[in-house]
Amino acid sequence: MVEVLGLGREFGHDALRTAVASTVSLGACDVAAVRYLLTETGLHKAKPALIDVGVLARYDRPMPSVADYDTLLVSTPCVGTA
């Protein structure tokens, strides 16, 4: 509780009230959750601009297919001894 009040001094009481209400509505009850909601606007970073890779584009490869891995999910379980 004391930590929450300290956040009010740092970020302002209106912002703190909003963050506490959001934290409770999200089902959290931790000071870290309140602090995160108060500081989340500073965490967003701009996307980097795309650059032309030129001749390096020849190394581009398609993503591998992972469709065969689904067969591992339906196979019989291992019955070995440990």
52 domain-assigned: no
19 domain-assigned: yes
What is the number of domains present in the chain? 1
34 domain-assigned: yes
58 domain-assigned: no
Check: CB of residue 4 under 8 Å from CB of residue 31: yes
67 domain-assigned: no
What is the span of the domain harbouring residue 23?
Answer: 2-43
33 domain-assigned: yes
11 domain-assigned: yes
Distance of alpha carbon 25 from alpha carbon 23, whole angstroms: 5
Per-residue model confidence (pLDDT) at position 77 = 64
Check: CB of residue 11 under 8 Å from CB of residue 38: yes
Q: In this predicted model, what pLDDT tens digit does every residue of 21-77 receive, in sequence order?
A: 999 999 998 899 999 999 987 788 888 898 998 999 999 999 888 888 877 777 666
